[in-house]
Amino acid sequence: MKKSLKNFTDRLDFWSLQPVALTGVSGTRVLLGFVGLMYYVSQYQERNYLFGPDGVLPHEDFTAQLTGFSLYTLSASPWYFQLVYHLGIAAALAVMLGVGGRPALALHWALLWSVYQRQPGLLDGGDNLAYVVIPFLLLTRCYDRFSLPTGLASRLVRRVPGHLRAMSVPFHNLGVLMVAAQICLVYVVSGLYKVMGEEWQDGTALFYIMRVAEFELPGWSHLVYENDVLVVLGTYGTVAFLVYFPLGVLVPALRPWAATASICFHLSIAFFMGLTGFALTMIACDLVFLSGALDRAVLWARGRLARHLTSLADTASADPSKEGRPSGEHGTRTTAPEAELV
């Protein structure tokens, strides 16, 4: 009993003093910023028609049917629409580059929610996860990695009292735990929901999904749905993976493999079904389980870069052309015309 209590207190101390998954959660921030930026840029040329006050859904109709909130309801002015839309682009870019800290992340969440609500017909499901996960990231230190250094954040942190700075670690770990729990919940609910479907039970669901015109990839999808073995394996494998994914991430030795399998699974969804935003949002959340692997990859990349720069420096220092090599025909130095005039 005492040993169990000591193990519990040791683990509690670790979670209170050591931030976990810094690299993984920073990668989550980067990828979620990229997803938002991709959404804005992909619709940029048609923004007036899709989101504008005089577009396919007029401002009055949009305001009347909206059940939540959206910054686009505050004014029907075209100039206001352009300002909010371009501010959303700037906020998404800032989050991706790691500029602006938590205020920029909160602004990105509000603007992304607003533009998603403005045209729900364009959404692919990734928006629901982004709504939930970005507030969790506000608790974390997701700007500790992959961020452009500005110096402003460090100056602001020094002004915060020490006892409040000490709370950043448990809040960070709590945010990471909430992101991990959310992604596990998505997998389990999705898997159990599929289990109740008749097509998922008889192993034919993948056949029908890949034949939907909206999600079919010409020239590729037929290679899957025309193969009975791939259809059955893909259908049952999907259900098994979704239901048992949380068990995989609970075991430290299996955690990287479960996360890698999830990334491959969603890359296939992006490729075959075109649900790029959804797939990248899910992959962004999977990165919290791959923080250790990302740390090793970053260290390896830094080592390779340092060796490459050292090699270039050694080559440059050993190059005779950099040391005033004699330019005469037999190694004799020629006299410059200016020297002859002296």
- DSSP-assigned states of every residue in 197-258: SHHHHHT-HHHHHTT-TTT--TTTHHHHHT-HHHHHHHHHHHHHHHHHHHHHHHSTTTHHHH
Which residues 6+ apart lie within 8 Å of 20 measured at CB?
172, 173, 176, 291
Tokens linked to 295: 């740390």
| pLDDT score recorded for residue 122 | 87
Q: Percent of the chain at pLDDT above 90?
A: 54
Cα Rg for the chain, rounded, in angstroms? 27
| pLDDT score recorded for residue 241 | 92
Label residue 179 by pLDDT band (50, 70, 90): very high
Q: How far apart are CA 119 and CA 167, in angstroms?
A: 39
One-letter amino acid of 127: D
Whole-number Cα distances in Å, 251 to 166, 247, 295: 29, 7, 19
Would you list the DSSP string of 281-333?
A: HHHHHHGGGGHHHHHHHHHHHHHHHHHHHHHHHHHHHH-GGGTT---STTSPP
| Structural contact between residues 139 and 172, judged by C-beta atoms closer than 8 angstroms | yes
pLDDT per residue over 24-42, tens digit each?
Answer: 999 999 999 999 999 999 9
The average pLDDT across 240-266 equals 91
The average pLDDT across 288-309 equals 86
CA 231: distance to chain centroid? 30
* Position with higher pLDDT, 209 vs 80: 80
Label residue 307 by pLDDT band (50, 70, 90): confident
| pLDDT score recorded for residue 321 | 55
Q: What is the DSSP letter of 146?
A: S
Would you list the DSSP string of 60-92?
A: HHHHHH--S--GGGS---HHHHHHHHHHHHHHH
Q: Percent of the chain at pLDDT above 70?
A: 83
Q: How far apart are CA 256 and CA 83, in angstroms?
A: 42
Q: Is the pLDDT of residue 214 over 70?
A: yes
pLDDT per residue over 58-77, tens digit each?
Answer: 999 999 999 888 999 999 99
Q: How many CB atoms lie within 10 A of CB 209?
A: 20
**CA neighbor of 78 nearest in space, from 57, 99, 52:** 52
The average pLDDT across 294-312 equals 84
Q: How many CB atoms lie within 10 A of CB 275?
A: 18
Look over the chain and give the mean of its residue pLDDT values, rounded to a whole number: 85
* Position with higher pLDDT, 286 vs 335: 286
Torsion from C-alpha of 181, 124, 25, 264, nearest 10 degrees = 90
pLDDT per residue over 309-335, tens digit each?
Answer: 888 877 777 755 544 444 444 444 444
Q: How far apart are CA 87 and CA 105, in angstroms?
A: 13
| pLDDT score recorded for residue 7 | 62
Q: How far apart are CA 120 and CA 71, in angstroms?
A: 15
